[in-house]
Structure 1
């Protein structure tokens, strides 16, 4: 019978896991895209673009390129190299590459205090940003399109707040303070750059400023700009600071605006370029995916720590890109044939590559390029010749590679013998390379839903086991393994009313009651809940609160249950132990209390004294823990007698 219960439980668990994995894989699938859903529209669009560009040969026509830089984080308190090397980027890199535009996708300044916890706009940082761009003269020959990130919105009461230095110390802020569109026609290519500003209003101090928000007014503004872009451009490149996974639509009605749906609605939308996630601290260096609507979403690693920037080209309707470290030369991008991983059926005239006559490569360096060579088997190398500017071409026979995946190798050497070597996979029959799972999860799921799921799971782990043990009359079988001892200790703890009810009620309070009341913006009192923030008569659906509460549950509340259970076990086993031995046994609680005090101290630095005092989440949990620990150590005699009748010592077993 026991075996049957275990088998049934295992089958149910595997079934639930398989359902979860099936749903997850469906959410992050990239093989059923907009082109498949609307094949006729895709064929019509690519036929139109293909006829417009006619054929891919050696001509420099129908080719543009531009740069992206993100998360610059200019700071007066740390890493002066961000400023000096950003100046080099403007003075040297931009002038060598000569892009059509430069997209600066948010977090232009750091806006963090010297202690790295407080946050507010620092005018000097904005002056550095403004002066570098102005004095470099970079805007004389290219268009600089900057937009705000969450750091540029710290502690901003409203868009017209004097502390919103983006209005006066950026290139676009004075005329385009929020979302905007810039349309350019150059070298036969009509492209619209759609900038999405999802900074919430008002802008809170960190950390509750992680998720972007598009309210009804901004949604309407974007829809209007998008209609203009579709009418006037053949290609649309979207850019913003937040990935689409980190943007919440406020007051969204069913069937109304959905940003991903809007981006993918027209076949002319090719990519959404963003930053914000900093490549997860370098753990996901290539955070790219193709959304279900068929366009690319490309997160760029930060300038702040990694000094990265991106080169993007649209060549005869094909969008290609490469991310590059600052001051690493040569910079090389193959535009035909396009990288197989980033093919977009229905959005690019892919048939032009199969009919093309030349391989096309963009090659840049801070000195003259000496040689550009290609090979398809790394044995025989073929020289490319320069057509104009950075464009190098070589004749080829694409019919030899018309089926399956192939690799082309590119070697570029400049006159200082600096070398770049590129392995370039391509296909001419639509064969693609799948994107890795991790970037698909980060860019295709909804961060708010994930944060809420994590918080809910931790809340369940905090409450449900204790409740089940509370209603279970039969004590667990004693054993020597750690989990057996701990289950028995928790079962015993669940029988103590003065411990059980405060722990459970506090956990149940977290999803509903306020976590803190304080000055979330200078001069304005706000209230933090799990499900959002109320301030200045506005509701901000900031899902990052769930992660903040999840930290409390993971590193405070759940460990507190385990520590109290162990303390109760020691108390019942050795009530008369004194001195050093008892202090050592209470070291886990001392460590836990230190963690709580540290978290409360950080919260005080972030939001001030009032938030610290009226802070049920961080501050009030400290005296609650101390009280519960004290009550565990001072149980009344009648409670002890009741527990001792159920008790078999586990503390003598090795931990």
Structure 2
């Protein structure tokens, strides 16, 4: 019978895991149904192919642009960040001469000297504005900037004087929120659509991680998209937040996700963003292709990694490469296109096998000496320089008709700096997969993930104690140490004065207010697990669940284990004295230190009122201390009852 229960439990667990994995794989699956079978996509690519014609060595039908993200200009940290940004505008932009520069949010740091408080710092915005203006880049390129969450810290309304983006950015004077910029250059007609998902009002950190598109902004974006789709052949979307970190509010009982919005435009090829900082460098290439057939490309930050992106549209084909600052030469192959980033139904891929020349953009801060290519790294062919940065070389596409192939490009400038690029391509539709981590980060719903983690931790904190309380005897476990822990938890669940406060506090977290405090200067708000109330406005900020998860994982769950340990000491090691007794209480002292530290950080972030009226952080310190004291001072009669209950000798 025991084996049967274990087997049934195992089957149930495996079934739940299999359902979870199936749903997860379905979410991150890259489905090319739209691109391969849609009549709209087929007609669109035929139109582009007819418009652009054969790809030869001509410099027509080609444009390129740059992206920089998460600059985080700060007057308190890393002075080189500002100096290198000035080099970017003075040298990099002038050397590449892009048609457009996209600055996708977090233009300034907006964090206090202690790195915890957050508010707009006018001097940082002045630095940003002056560097761009004094460099003169706006005289020959268009600088399109948009806000990030740091640019929205502690802003009461978008029209408040603290919103320095309106006065010190390049586009803020004319576009306070989302906007479109349509250009026709060298035979290419492209619309750049900037998406501002910053919540209004803008809270101080950390509850400003998820972007929110309210009904009004959704309508504005839909209008911009429709106009751009009619006037431009190609749509390049840009914003700060990845689509996984944008929440669309319901309108007319319906909710259009940002991915549906982007994918519904036939000319949409790519959405470029920042915000995640390549997860601290752990996911350096955070790219994916969504089910609607367009790319999403998160760019590593300028703040710590000094990254920027070079992208091009050549005869309707979108190509890009991410580059580290001051790393020359820069090589971007535009034909044949990289096998991983092909977009069937959204670009004229039929032009590649019909082309006569390999096409490569090469840039350096000095003159390029030579560019050569190879397919085997043995025999090299020199490329011919055309006007500007374009280098071409004749090729025979039919030799590479099937399978995956690699093109190697080597560029050398007059200073002797060289760079070699490995470029995989295919002409028969053979594709390369995207990394699983990148797909998870960009295709999941961050808010749903935060909520699921919080719910799971809540169950872990409540359900085991409830189950143990209903059992008449402690559950059996083969290992001695595990048996001791289960016995202590079982005994703890039998103490009403401990059990009910622990369980009720955990149940309170998803329901009651966590903090009442000055969330924006001059405005009192209330934080719940399910959102934030301030200025008569409800902000469904899912990042609150992360804060609750930290409380459950690093405070509530350890507290249960520490109290069980203290109870075990109280019942079965009553003769401990001196330093041994102190050592036995060290786990609680360590836990209390963590709680005090978390409460202190919250005080620095949101002030004294939030510290005093903070059930999540401050009040939990009082509760933990009280429960610890009650555990250590159980009456002797209660102790004897528990020992007898466990059927152990006193």
Q: Give the TM-score taking structure 2 as reference length.
A: 0.99
Aligned length: 650
Once the two structures are superposed, residues 355-413 of structure 1 have per-residue CA deviations (whole angstroms, 9 ceiling, x without a partner) of 00000000000111111111111110111010111000000000011111111111111
1:266 deviation in Å? 2.2
Match of 1:2 in 2: 2
1:431 deviation in Å? 1.0
Match of 2:619 in 1: 620
CA distance in 2, matches of 1:547, 1:365: 44
Match of 1:653 in 2: none
1:601 deviation in Å? 0.2
1:256 deviation in Å? 4.8
CA distance in 2, matches of 1:480, 1:39: 60
CA distance in 2, matches of 1:237, 1:478: 59
CA distance in 2, matches of 1:33, 1:119: 45
Counterpart contact for 2:555–2:595, Cα < 8 Å: yes
Match of 1:18 in 2: 18
Match of 2:469 in 1: 470
Distance 1:574 1:254, change over 3 A: same
1:252 deviation in Å? 3.5
Match of 1:269 in 2: 268
CA distance in 2, matches of 1:618, 1:107: 29
1:575 deviation in Å? 1.8
Counterpart contact for 2:116–2:601, Cα < 8 Å: yes
Distance 1:33 1:144, change over 3 A: farther
Q: Give the TM-score taking structure 1 as reference length.
A: 0.98
Match of 1:496 in 2: 495
Once the two structures are superposed, residues 310-351 of structure 1 have per-residue CA deviations (whole angstroms, 9 ceiling, x without a partner) of 000000000000000000000110000000000110001001
Alignment pair present for 1:344 and 2:343: yes
Q: How does 1:87-126 map to 2 (within 5 A)?
A: 87-126=86-125
Once the two structures are superposed, residues 198-222 of structure 1 have per-residue CA deviations (whole angstroms, 9 ceiling, x without a partner) of 0000000000000001111111111
Counterpart contact for 1:475–1:646, Cα < 8 Å: no
Once the two structures are superposed, residues 555-574 of structure 1 have per-residue CA deviations (whole angstroms, 9 ceiling, x without a partner) of 00000000100110011012
Moved runs in structure 1, 4+ residues, more than 6 A? none
Alignment pair present for 1:65 and 2:61: no
CA distance in 2, matches of 1:256, 1:614: 35
1:33 deviation in Å? 4.2
Once the two structures are superposed, residues 433-453 of structure 1 have per-residue CA deviations (whole angstroms, 9 ceiling, x without a partner) of 010111101100110000000
Distance 1:496 1:460, change over 3 A: same
Once the two structures are superposed, residues 240-285 of structure 1 have per-residue CA deviations (whole angstroms, 9 ceiling, x without a partner) of 0000110111233455532111111122100000000000000100
CA distance in 2, matches of 1:65, 1:518: 48
CA distance in 1, matches of 2:341, 2:266: 15
CA distance in 2, matches of 1:279, 1:555: 26
SS of the counterpart of 2:281? Answer: coil
1:41 deviation in Å? 1.4
1:417 deviation in Å? 1.3
CA distance in 2, matches of 1:8, 1:415: 72
Distance 1:252 1:294, change over 3 A: same
Match of 2:30 in 1: 30
CA distance in 1, matches of 2:328, 2:573: 70
CA distance in 1, matches of 2:94, 2:483: 67
Q: How does 1:199-598 map to 2 (within 5 A)?
A: 199-477=198-476, 480-598=479-597
1:32 deviation in Å? 3.6
Counterpart contact for 2:225–2:265, Cα < 8 Å: no
**Structure 2 gaps, min length 5:** none
CA distance in 2, matches of 1:447, 1:497: 38
CA distance in 1, matches of 2:319, 2:261: 22
**Structure 1 gaps, min length 5:** 651-655
Counterpart contact for 1:479–1:485, Cα < 8 Å: no
1:489 deviation in Å? 1.2
CA distance in 2, matches of 1:95, 1:518: 48
1:637 deviation in Å? 2.3
Counterpart contact for 1:478–1:488, Cα < 8 Å: no
Residue range with higher mean Cα deviation, 143-152 or 397-406: 397-406
CA distance in 2, matches of 1:296, 1:152: 26
CA distance in 1, matches of 2:207, 2:19: 33
CA distance in 1, matches of 2:58, 2:457: 60
1:34 deviation in Å? 2.2
Match of 2:51 in 1: 52
Match of 1:39 in 2: 38
CA distance in 1, matches of 2:611, 2:151: 25
1:50 deviation in Å? 0.5
Counterpart contact for 2:247–2:257, Cα < 8 Å: no
Distance 1:319 1:649, change over 3 A: farther
Counterpart contact for 2:27–2:443, Cα < 8 Å: yes
Counterpart contact for 2:195–2:239, Cα < 8 Å: yes
CA distance in 2, matches of 1:472, 1:198: 51
Match of 2:82 in 1: 83
Counterpart contact for 1:33–1:291, Cα < 8 Å: no
SS of the counterpart of 1:454? Answer: helix
CA distance in 2, matches of 1:295, 1:217: 25
CA distance in 2, matches of 1:256, 1:604: 36
SS of the counterpart of 2:538? Answer: strand
Distance 1:345 1:461, change over 3 A: same
Once the two structures are superposed, residues 619-644 of structure 1 have per-residue CA deviations (whole angstroms, 9 ceiling, x without a partner) of 00001000000000011222211111
SS of the counterpart of 1:305? Answer: coil
CA distance in 2, matches of 1:444, 1:632: 47
1:492 deviation in Å? 1.1
CA distance in 1, matches of 2:30, 2:408: 27
Distance 1:384 1:575, change over 3 A: same
CA distance in 1, matches of 2:481, 2:282: 33
CA distance in 2, matches of 1:554, 1:482: 22
Match of 1:135 in 2: 134
